A and B are shown apart, each in its own frame.
Chain A
Amino acid sequence: MEIVQGVLYGFQVALQPINLLYCFVGVLIGTLVGVLPGLGPAAAIALLLPSTFSASPVSAVIMLAGIYYGAMYGGSTTSILVNIPGEAASVVTCLDGHAMARQGRAGAALGIAAFGSFIAGTLSVVLLTFLAPFLARVTLSFGPPEYFALMVLGLTLLTYFARESMVKALMMAAVGLLCGVVGQDTISGRLRFSFGIRTLEDGLGLVPVIMGLFGISEVLLNLETRDQDRGIFAAPTTGLLPTREDWRRSALPILRGSALGFGLGILPGAGAIIASFASYAVEKRASREPERFGHGAIEGVAGPESANNAAAGGAFIPLLTLGIPANAVMAILLGALMIHGLQPGPLLVTQAPDVFWGIITSMYIGNAMLLVLNLPLIPMWARLLRVPYALLFPFVLLFCLIGAYSVGNNVGDGVVMWVFGIVGYLMKKFDYEGAPLILAMVIGPMMEEALRQSLILSTGSFAVFVTRPISAGFILASALLVLLPLITRRRPSAT
């Protein structure tokens, strides 16, 4: 009953005209950044964060969330039509989606991607609706040791799923923890790693760091390769509706992708990218004709596209119930909620029910908007893809610059963004991933506080982390994840 009331209340909030407008703008921008390669949802949300300062917290978060799941829709369009993933989570869609386009079935591929995304997105929001309040109640009993152990598990999971070496991912997590230390110590009030620089005294800003690592570095990397001819297929305006045969083949992959995506989305660090690869692997294995995969199998589009959308829904669970972000995008949303004076975590559902239920129900509406919006707009997105990168990138850089500056009207933040842009570029060159760094940087201060509080509670004994059952479970799981690759010497292969 409680949930039904919550949902009804949520719809009252989400259906207010102003929130509908923010939701619409969010999913539209999300689709746009999804379509455009080289500008991801993390950078886009960071960029638009300052523009939401004047809005109410609910409206702000509804829009920012819309950008995230909207990008999952948009990413598929570029993958299918251009064979360049618009979004990291759509990499795997290139394989069969673009093959379908070559066979003249771009319409069916785009259609099933949109329908699959809609179905999976909606299913994951239903699961979110029922699970989030329940989990919020459970996590209310968590003390500092449980929080610390859970964050250790989150970071370990993130590095476990790392595409490159796990050692490098763990290193980036350590660097992120150190970045999180910069600024004032919340317990003693002492300044750390600030070297007398005013900007650093408040800590490294999340927005400039993300803009640098994910925005600037991406552009710098793209600049190294001269504009290649992008083979864009004429956008189909008809034949977007999948045939009965398409539906028959796609129904199970969509459902499996939804379940898989949601489950992986909840885990900190796994997220949409892993979910899409895992779904592809599952569909290939489940298929009676696996040889069709890579040559335009519609299952290879339906599964992963559903999975990445479901993961986007699942990722909200740790944010809304624990206040722990599952990925870089959630980390910025966490920042956004805090800027608007809200503390995400188990108390959010009671302290700010309008935000909690408003966000969840807005996702039902947003998913419906995306379906209605996406199919007719596909020709427009395709035309946008023809804009040469040489014209596009100066504006992407400009928006990053404005975004970094306008968070605090501080030139220092621009310098921070520049430094992290160069660092991010070098990290890509040397095969380091940025995601563990960002996540660790955000949860670093929470982790440090939880660790120090736990040690104060236990009068200096680390046993507190293994004598409390929940915390012991998290620590054990983390240890297994680190040791597993050493024992089996086999890393999980994505495809």
Chain B
Amino acid sequence: MRRDLVSALFWLAVAIFAAAQGLALKLGSLKQPGSGFFPFWGGVVLGLLSLVLVARSLGRQSAAGPLVRPESSRLLVVAGALLGYVLLLERAGFVAVTFAFLLLLLRLERRGWAFSAATAGAGAAASWALFQLWLKTQLPVGPLGF
């Protein structure tokens, strides 16, 4: 299958990278294995397995199993929102980022503005209360002080 081939080639690249890093870290000897010993052989094993998968996928007819691609753009929006949340969290503070994050995702699901804003506000406040006040998690504080 095509997608087996694609994924196997990806892992093969990972394996080569790991083995090369292992070599750079020094393998040591069998009597005194070094830091690179385990990653090197781990990479070799992964590489061999990837080659088995490559061979198998070439042996089969490639008609079945087309390459997958995300069926909808909302997947990309959600993935972007997650990364944005992480990167902005310490800069803008927990409550503000959480509010924006929830608002975006609820609007993405075509909920009305009023409903989305109210739910996002309540969600941000409730999760702040739950984690900061009750569970004593240290959540990042923004320029506004929360």
Smallest Cβ-Cβ distance to B53: which chain A residue: A167
Contacts of A414 in B (CB 8 A): 85-86, 89
Query: Which 10 pairs from chain A and chain B are nearest by CB?
Result: A460-B30, A414-B86, A390-B109, A460-B31, A174-B46, A394-B105, A51-B135, A448-B38, A430-B7, A406-B137
Interface string of A139-176 (1 = CB under 8 A from B): 00000000000000000000000000101101100110
Contacts of B106 in A (CB 8 A): 390-391, 394
B11/A171 in contact, CB under 8 A:
yes
With A224-B70, A460-B29 known, 5 other A-B pairs at CB within 8 A are A394-B102, A402-B139, A422-B79, A456-B33, A460-B32
Binds B, one of A107-115, A188-196, A315-323: A188-196
Size bracket of the B interface? 35 or more
- CB B19 to nearest CB in A, in angstroms, measures 10
A175/B11 in contact, CB under 8 A:
yes
Contacts of B56 in A (CB 8 A): 167
A167/B86 in contact, CB under 8 A:
no
Report the tally of A-B residue pairs with Cβ distances under 8 A: 152
**Is residue A432 within 8 Å, beta carbon to beta carbon, of the partner chain?**
yes
- CB A417 to nearest CB in B, in angstroms, measures 8
B25/A395 in contact, CB under 8 A:
no
Cα distance, A429 to B4, chains bound together (Å): 11
Give the size of the chain A interface in residues (CB under 8 angstroms).
57
The answer, among A185, A216, A395, A452, for a CB contact under 8 Å with B82, is A216
Cα distance, A223 to B74, chains bound together (Å): 8
25 contacts between A and B (CB under 8 A): A51-B135, A167-B53, A167-B56, A174-B42, A174-B46, A174-B49, A175-B14, A177-B42, A192-B36, A220-B75, A393-B105, A394-B105, A397-B105, A401-B85, A406-B131, A411-B87, A414-B89, A415-B83, A421-B79, A432-B7, A451-B33, A460-B29, A460-B30, A460-B31, A461-B30
Cα distance, A422 to B82, chains bound together (Å): 11
Smallest Cβ-Cβ distance to A395: which chain B residue: B123
Cα distance, A178 to B46, chains bound together (Å): 9
- CB B62 to nearest CB in A, in angstroms, measures 15
B39/A192 in contact, CB under 8 A:
yes
Smallest Cβ-Cβ distance to A414: which chain B residue: B86
A178/B127 in contact, CB under 8 A:
no
Contacts of A216 in B (CB 8 A): 82
Cα distance, A176 to B121, chains bound together (Å): 39
**Is residue A495 within 8 Å, beta carbon to beta carbon, of the partner chain?**
no
Smallest Cβ-Cβ distance to A461: which chain B residue: B30
